[in-house]
Structure 1
Amino acid sequence: MAKILVVDDEVGIRELLSEILYNEGHTVEQAENAAQAREIRLRLRPDLVLLDIWMPDTDGVSLLKEWISQGLLTMPVIMMSGHASIDIAVEATRIGAMDFLEKPISLQKLLKTVAAGLLRNRTLQSSNFKTPRSVTKEITSANEDSSWSDTCLVPIDQNGSCKLGNVSLDQPLRDARDAFERVYFEYHLMRDGYSMTRVSERTGLERTHLYRKLKQLGITSTNRRRNNDSK
């Protein structure tokens, strides 16, 4: 299904996470330090990286910064640690990590976070998303009366269309809003295991309104049948 790189200096944790993800159908490679992670990152081009913060040679936050500076953060990175402070976790997510998992990592939390990361990766790849530092592109247009330069702060596809995720901004507002809301709710449904209760709480919509909105957007009951409100 997806290519995942697990980076951790503790062999037991690497093997446990790899076994879980392998059983979910993913291709998994392991790295015990930053040097191995760099090599595998270039060779494998993973769809997602699970990256430990505390490692003996180069720590995970430093490696994350390195990938960002070199334009190699083309996949979601989920940080892991059993000893890092909240400040370090916040700093990692601020500079580019997608999320943070605290050890020991529960199976449910691992799978939900990985699923959210892979969903984000598919969305970014489908829209030719670049890293945060490279999404600004100057586009210049002219007409008979004047010329002007504008700045598009989102990726531009091969047809010259500004896109946010897979939502084209070169369409009527109503269509763009519906497209964005569809991506938004599908993301939260997958993130929260299709629990309508949790999605309702996270999005701030009452359940009745939420059901109505999903029906309006064409998100069918087939997509929601895994609803697990009892949790």
Structure 2
Amino acid sequence: MANILVVDDEIGIRELLSEILNDEGHTVLLAENAQQARQVRANETLDLVLLDIWMPDTDGVTLLKEWAANSLLTMPVIMMSGHATIDTAVQATRIGAMDFLEKPIALQKLLKAVQAGLNRNKPAPLSTVLGSGLTLAASNPSHHAPTISQMMASPAPAAAPTVDSSHTVTQLVTNLVQVGSQNVPLDQPLREARDEFERVYFEYHLARENYSMTRVAERTGLERTHLYRKLKQLGIELGKSARRAQNAA
């Protein structure tokens, strides 16, 4: 659908944003510093850039200013930071950034900002600092939407098809013996058996729905954020690499 460049020196942020945006159908390009971002910008046609402010070589605002001065700001740019001040956010939007996302980034805000950026005909500075849903560091954080940092942390229990510790071996045999065409060994501790069942369960539905997280969430009855967390907990690979592996099998 769109070519999106993610520029961030934190590998965990790059990987998670890549997984999320890949699942939305976008092609995601990654850069860990300004130099790599310059190279990607020179070689690719970009529809959107997610640009971290604080980076070790050249900060994001300086890179944004460089692109603007050289008429290279031909795509919407969304700034990201966990430490930026209001003055920094104002400066970035005056240069040409269309939005600012404060870390930790809420998943819903990320997807909304990305969609808004892709819907724009051309990048342009915001008319006011707080216009178009701009989120500044001083704004009140969401009390409902899970953040990316929370998604990367140890996942909380989700309403997945699990087996309570009070279940007996007989109930395990009844409920967990087979998922799809794969058997779950029962001669192991309950926790391991439950994890293996969940892994087989989610891999089955991912393959069945061609790795569409939207459809898998609907099929399994999980909210998408919880689904991402559960899959990462189980070590299930997401994105295009998983699709390629499935198709090659």
What's the TM-score, normalizing by structure 2? Answer: 0.49
4+ residue runs of structure 1 moved beyond 4 angstroms? none
Aligned equivalents of 2:29, 2:62: Cα separation in 1: 21
Q: Describe the SS at the equivalent of 2:84.
A: coil
Matched, 1:6 2:10: no
Separation of aligned partners in 2, 1:38 and 1:45: 12
Q: Secondary structure at the match of 1:29?
A: strand
Question: Partner residue of 1:77?
Answer: 77
Give the drift of 1:61.
0.2
Counterpart code for 2:31: A
How big is the shift at 1:80?
Answer: 0.2
Superposed displacement of residue 92, structure 1: 0.3
The alignment partner of 1:25 has SS state of: coil
The answer for the alignment partner of 1:17 in structure 2 is 17
For 2:65, the equivalent position in structure 1 comes to 65
Counting only pairs closer than 5 Å after superposition, residues 137-216 of structure 1 correspond to structure 2 as: none
Gaps of 5+ in 1: 125-130, 133-187, 192-231
Tell me the C-alpha RMSD between the 2 structures: 1.7
Q: Distance in 2 between matches of 1:104 and 1:33?
A: 19
2:97 match: 97
Which structure's CA Rg is the greater one? 2
Q: State the secondary structure of the residue aligned to 2:50.
A: strand
One-letter code of the match for 2:102? E
Task: String of CA shifts for 1:198-227, please: whole Å, max 9, x gaps.
Answer: xxxxxxxxxxxxxxxxxxxxxxxxxxxxxx
* More strand by percentage: 1
Aligned amino acid, residue 18 of structure 1: S
Q: How many residues matched?
A: 127
User: Displacement of 1:94 after TM fit?
Assistant: 1.1
The answer to whether structure 1 residue 45 and structure 2 residue 54 are counterparts is no
Q: Which residue in the other structure is 1:229 paired with? A: none
SS in 2 for 1:80: strand
* Higher RCO (Cα < 8 Å, 6 or more apart): 2
1:78-110 per-residue CA deviation (whole Å, 9 max, x = no partner) reads 000001111101110011100000001011000
**Uncovered stretches (5+) of structure 2, i.e. residues with no partner:** 125-131, 134-249
Question: Sequence identity of aligned pairs in percent?
Answer: 75
Could you say what secondary structure the match of 1:109 adopts? helix
Report Cα offsets for 1:32-84 as digits up to 9, x if no partner: 00000000011112100000000000000000000011100000000000011
Please report the TM-score for the alignment, with normalisation by the length of structure 1. Answer: 0.53
